[in-house]
Homo-oligomer: A and B are copies of this chain.
């Protein structure tokens, strides 16, 4: 009974990297346990299956996926830009969400309602204050901002940005993103 807590953490870290890189079907439990330095049987004692391990990883990172960046409904352009930056520093989270969408949740909400509801409510208030356009429903405002911030994300259908890109590229994308969100959603 030397150090169960630390082992569990190393295991979840290794599993995060593995699932982010290969998805659920592509992940290998032997690779995870080897990378974590945790015995496989031990792993199965804590989490009962590969799927169970993915669930643990995903729910552990849920708040980081959702709140990687403080939500600022009164300044959506800045929020979108901050998301762009967070996708650059933490592409794993976006990839994890992508796998979950493709391998687990093909339609409907990706996350539980109680993660999104507070944001929708905040958007509604900002609309009442005249900070956000009123002709689009709060949940859709949110969806559109997330989609825009993900234009160059690790699940982009066009181009995925990386930290190695030229700083000028990042600046140009941030500027475009800020302008688009402002013109589209700020009255």
Contacts and interface: CB of A to CB of B under 8 A. Distances in A.
Interface of A: 22-26, 91, 94-95, 97-99, 101-103, 105-111, 116, 135-137, 139-140, 142-144, 146-148, 150-152, 154-162, 172-173, 176-177, 179-181, 183-185
Contacts of A135: 176, 179
A157 B94 contact: yes
Nearest to A98: B102
B136 A102 contact: no
Contact of A180 (B25, B136, B142): B136
List the 7 closest pairs (A to B, CB-CB), nearest first.
A25-B26, A147-B151, A184-B184, A180-B184, A25-B25, A143-B158, A107-B162
Given A136-B176, A136-B179, A101 B143 contact: no
Contact of A176 (B25, B140, B160): B140
12 contacts: A26-B103, A106-B154, A107-B161, A108-B159, A108-B160, A109-B158, A135-B179, A144-B177, A146-B151, A146-B158, A147-B150, A150-B157
A94 B184 CA distance: 25
Contact of A157 (B110, B158, B179): B110
A125 to B, nearest CB: 19
A159 B148 CA distance: 14
B159 A103 contact: no
A151 B160 contact: no
A157 B154 contact: no
A102 B140 contact: no
B154 A148 contact: no
Contacts of A22: 25, 103
